[in-house]
Chains A and B, each alone.
Chain A
Amino acid sequence: MNGGKRIWLIWAVIIAVMLGGAYAITSRNIASAGGDTSGGYVH
């Protein structure tokens, strides 16, 4: 593997890890907000 391809592969891994982490955090956030069925407006 030449240097150029290796750099692109490293970037692909970095981006995949960050997107995977974002997916995990956003999924957990949606799950924890799932209990909010109140939606009331007055009190």
Chain B
Amino acid sequence: MTDATQLRAAARSSLASVALTSAFIAVNHLYVLGPRALLLGGFIAGASTLLLLWFRHNASKIAFAGYLVINLWVVVGFGLYKGLWKGVLRLFLGSWLASFSSSYPKPFVGTFIYEASGILMFVGSLFVAYYAIGLIRSVSFGPSESVPRGAFGTPRWLAVTGVLAAAVVIAAYVFEERDRFEAPPSGVVTIGVIAPTTGPYSILGNSFVKAVQMAQSDLKGTKYKYELKIADSGPDPTKARDIVRNVIEGEKVEAVIGAVSLIGEVTKPFATKARIVHTCVCTVTRIGDGGYNFTNIPSPQAEAVRWVAEAQRRGIKRIAVISQDYPSINNHVKAMKSEAMRRGLTISYEDRFSDTVTNFRPALARAQASRPDVYYVEGLEPELDILGQQLMDAKIRNIASVVAPSLSERPELFEGAWYTDSDLADMEFKRRFETKYPGTQFATHMMPYAYDSFNMIVQAYERGVNPAVYIRSITSYNGSAGAVVKAPGSGNFQSKPAVWMIKNGRPALLSSESTANQIVARVQP
């Protein structure tokens, strides 16, 4: 084989490996960059081809150096860092470490195509490195016969080096990914509290923040001082992004307590990146990944099971549903209908109204005609109280709901209505809150969970455990919200809601599943 032939063969192999790897890079980055990922892959393959052609045409050293720089970028940036460290090691070693020790976060797992392209990006980069070395050999020494022996190491030396490098990389990953306790600087733990205290969720958001403040003021004789960084996220997740970033990356808080799923979805990636615990009082369970993010509130399914059990206890067989078209309400209704039908109850009528409706009388007349045993109503303000007034005008008093009456600004409109809502094992908690914050509505649905979430983080610090590790390891917790449980590895605390009733114009707890008031946490050995 002549020098030129050998050089062309080495260049072809090198370019083919770069082109193939750039295809894997493009697929892998589709999930992050969208269609721009095709430009990235096209740039790597196109620029590499042009530089090699330039080098072939006039043996330009600049062109060859440029080609090698792109190779280096592919190997180090995409292959070793993204493909190996953030891909192969995360997926296999990270999952394995998390399965036996709560000191390691359960890693993010993408779709098969995403993970497969990450693996192939890593493997492809090894071929890119291999063929690049072959090309350098051909360019530097000409025919293979003239390559000095040992210039690039013997196969045995390469194998030993490879095994050692792999061991070092694995050890580095095991060390780096482990979450350790760090004593707070100056003995002060700063906890971010992110909730929408303005806009349509302000009742929930304000009472949520005050519940955390009450938990803070209840602390006595703690080893560390706990400070809150309260931020109003507003209701818009797009605008909330900068606020969340400022709290986590700017203020550098040690933990975050958040409210409302819409904002929890925004907070989740920031908390994961900062490797700080984020407890979200929200129903979207995918937010709770069990790594750094945890949800703590009854799920729509748990509400449905409790609601239908109470309906059956009351001898209800037919249900008329009048509910607002809103994601969380739709999920309550969907879960309730599913459970009701599973238990043999009948949905006699259903109406889903938008937030522009103010006249519910036609829907109420149709519902009455279906002869229901109970009217399931759920909505947000101001439609909720308009509906409540028209129910009262129509002398309909057999009303039931999930959560809604506790959020009403005029709960007397729902006098006698029963509904499921969060449990309140410690009724003294509600009394103390109302005394401390007389002007703030007590939103039962979220507040005990906000209070308990704060205390979970405090317990972790007081015990000298990284809060993310501590909450990962908890499988049960008895707090102001009663008993909550969490399966090992899960990011979702499960709790049983209670049945409430509007009595004398105020929410009154009818039945509770709680068995304990004392706040104790059981930690896995």
Contact = CB atoms under 8 A, between A and B. Distances in A.
A5 B260 CA distance: 58
A33 B331 CA distance: 17
Interface stretch (B107-115, B167-175, B501-509): B107-115
B91 A35 contact: no
A18 B286 contact: no
Range of interface residues on chain A? 20 to 34
Interface stretch (B39-47, B277-285, B355-363): B277-285
B297 interface: yes
Contacts of B486: none
Contacts of A4: none
B262 interface: yes
A2 interface: no
A41 B201 CA distance: 11
Interface in A22-43: 22-23, 25-27, 29, 33, 35-43
B421 to A, nearest CB: 10
B204 interface: yes
B445 interface: yes
Nearest to B114: A26
B524 to A, nearest CB: 19
B341 to A, nearest CB: 15
A42 B92 contact: no
Contacts of B20: none
Interface in B72-104: 88, 91-92, 95
A22 B331 contact: no
B340 interface: no
Contacts of A41: 260-262, 284, 327-328
B260 A42 contact: yes
A11 to B, nearest CB: 8
A23 B330 CA distance: 34
A37 to B, nearest CB: 7
Interface in B47-93: 88, 91-92
A19 interface: yes
A16 to B, nearest CB: 11
Contact of A37 (B110, B201, B301, B328): B301
A22 B326 CA distance: 37
Contact of A15 (B95, B123, B331, B334): B123
Contacts of A38: 283-285, 299-301, 331
Contact of B327 (A21, A37, A39): A39
15 contacts: A22-B115, A22-B119, A25-B91, A26-B115, A36-B284, A39-B327, A40-B283, A40-B300, A41-B261, A41-B327, A41-B328, A42-B260, A42-B326, A42-B328, A43-B261
The 3 closest A-B pairs by CB, nearest first: A40-B328, A42-B328, A41-B327
Interface of A: 11, 14-15, 18-19, 21-23, 25-27, 29, 33, 35-43
